[in-house]
Amino acid sequence: MTQPPQPNPVHPLSHQAHEPLVALVRSGLVESVHYGSWIALDSTGETITSAGDPDALIYPRSALKPLQAFALLTAGWDGTLEQVALACASHSGTSRHCDVVTSTLRDAHLTIDALRNTPDLPLGQNERTEAIRASATPTSLAQNCSGKHAAMLATCVHNRWDLDSYLDPTHPLQQHIRTTIESFTGEPITITSVDGCGAPLFAMTLRALAHAFTTLATKAHTDSRSPAANIITAMTTHPTLVAGPGRDVTDMMVAFPGLVTKDGAEGIHIAVFPDSRVAALKIADGTNRGRVTAALHLLGELGAHDPQLTLAHTPAVLGGGQPVGHTYIIPARDTTTTRQ
């Protein structure tokens, strides 16, 4: 029997007012456009700048990891700074990354067999190429979220919670994470999904995501021994662990000491400045090209500009091996009004 047509799930996207933010220009002609939204807040949570629709629901993806790590620390996990950095990471899968993940498990008297995140090859381009060349199979350890999962398991061991079901949304660990995130965003979670790694994923507005990180920064500055301060210190002290060599997130934190920044799949980016200003970004088509160009521009407008960093991560458009264009912020939609 023929099944009735299903409702079109794309229709609600018409209510999202993303704006054209980034253009790829080839020989003077706009070839491609990336739509998106951004918002920046000051330390009190007031809006500095916004574009597009920061009040549309988005999935923050791996940008949530520092908030998830906060929940783990408040639930009793006592990781080292390196282990906390890995809990916040979308790592490249270098040997150092994997060693730190293994140490998190070892400290909890666990092995890599306890990991339940989706097996994958390393995220880092060089590391993935080496793995393919060596005919390596996907593993949970190499997958970029393994640091978070190892920390989740260690938290379960500390609290004597079940290990096999730690990714179930009804598990005490995930309930604690959910409650913690709601307390940071100030919004109830109305939509729950599953992230690529298998962990519960919560929808929220871009504004709520920015507000959550303003709260994290404020907690860190209020108490230097707090879990929030632990997270900020871990990420700024070990930027290479948060992503990897040559990755834009790592290079941003190296270029601007004290800056905390984190990417998420499908065009998400969050940045926390030392003075607790926060910027959050979503590129609608989910591409890294649009995300990195917009993120570097937004950082620059908020006082963190490095021409060499921009050059390294927004390469020229090539034709016949020669530069014939570049990616640019679209001036007509650039609504930033810097307030430092």
pLDDT digits (tens, 9 = 90+) for 33-69: 999 999 999 999 999 999 999 999 999 999 999 999 9
Angle between helices 65-74 and 206-222 (to 10 degrees): 40
CA nearest to 190, candidates 37, 58, 52, 12: 58
List residues bridging with 32 in a β-sheet.
Answer: 24
| pLDDT higher than 90, residue 2 | no
Domains of the chain: 11-333 (3.40.710)
HSE-CB for 55 with a 13 A CA cutoff: 2
Task: Average the pLDDT over 91-112 and give the result.
Answer: 99
Q: Please report which confidence band the pLDDT of residue 29 belongs to, taking 50, 70 and 90 as the band edges.
A: very high
What three-state secondary structure class fits 212? helix
- pLDDT at residue 340, as a whole number: 44
**What share of the chain in percent tops pLDDT 90?**
91
Both structure tokens of 208: 């709520």
Helix (H) or strand (E) holding 261: strand 260-264
Which residues, 6 or more positions from 208, have their beta carbon under 8 angstroms from its beta carbon? 185, 186, 187
Q: Please report which confidence band the pLDDT of residue 336 belongs to, taking 50, 70 and 90 as the band edges.
A: very low
| pLDDT higher than 60, residue 255 | yes
CA nearest to 328, candidates 31, 62, 78: 31
- pLDDT at residue 335, as a whole number: 47
Task: Average the pLDDT over 249-275 and give the result.
Answer: 98
- Residue-wise pLDDT for 104-123, tens only, equals 999 999 999 999 999 999 99
Euclidean distance between CA atoms 156 and 171, whole angstroms: 10
Q: Please report which confidence band the pLDDT of residue 8 belongs to, taking 50, 70 and 90 as the band edges.
A: low
| pLDDT higher than 70, residue 339 | no
CA angle, residues 333, 301, 65, in degrees to nearest 5: 95
